[in-house]
Amino acid sequence: MRRRQIAVVAGSATVLGLLTAVASTAARPDDDPVRLTATPESVQVVGLPCLPSSFRLGMTNVGSADLYADVELAAGGPVVLDRGLVSSWLPAWDPDHTVTARVGVTVPRDAEPGTYEVRATTDGAEVAVPVEVLPQPPKGDGDNLALGEQAVASSTHANFDVCGAVDGNTNSEEWDTLTGWNDGTSGAFPDTYDVVLAAPAQLTRVETWTLDSTRYPAARYGLRDFDVQVRTGGAWQTVHEVRGNTAGRVTSTFAPVTADAVRIVGLASNNRDYSRLVEVQAFTD
């Protein structure tokens, strides 16, 4: 089980590590010896804390001599990058070898929808990455108020990301493609997963999706015992106690409570190791 990493706003350089190799003796052009690429070639992002985006910057030495490359990153409009510089040693291997670095992309909540641009430049090379800022998802009655909002957990497994259970993906079959959340303390309970809402709301329903795929059925790998809590007046209040669960989806309905956060307290899993959540949703209806 694997999990991706989330973008954070920062401006520090990242050194990808020293690669050692014997330079090729084959004649190759030395004009513009570094080739830059971006994968994907364009990205989309939403201005919510847990709906960031990213691309992988590729750096390839197409010359005949080893070199050290500094690639400067600049973003237009409201786009914020998690780094301003990527540095790497690029050996002159033949065939060419590409070194890649992840570049996190975020925008503030009030970012104007539209298409902006990220540019990566080094001596003689440049690549532009279009960034489309999408409109905010609706957050009214009947909408999932937890979608993309800030998540906080008691711990998170190194292969996962804390935002994985509020990314809008409820498909357990895609657990292995980096969606969902897994705590980082095997066999140790309780575990907590919190979602802080954008504003207080009168909640009446929480949907908890635990792992339940063909390969990892809930009856073996899902959360068995857990509490659903909401934060009201600065204190956590339990609105549903779930025990002996073997289903992938649990619906918790309760009398309206004005709350500004939702918490899932994992007390036991069906195989007694980890708390696993695919998605947490909160509603006012």
212-221 exposure pattern, b = at least 16 Cβ within 10 A, e = fewer:
bbeebebeeb
Our CA dihedral for 60, 62, 66, 69, rounded to 10 degrees, sits at: -40
38 vs 21, higher pLDDT: 38
pLDDT band at 240 (very low <50, low <70, confident <90, very high): very high
Summarize pLDDT for 92-143 with one digit per residue, the tens.
998 999 999 999 999 999 999 999 999 999 988 999 999 999 999 999 999 9
Q: What domains can be seen in the chain, in order of their start residue?
A: 13-134 (2.60.40.10), 150-283 (2.60.120.260)
pTM of the model: 0.84
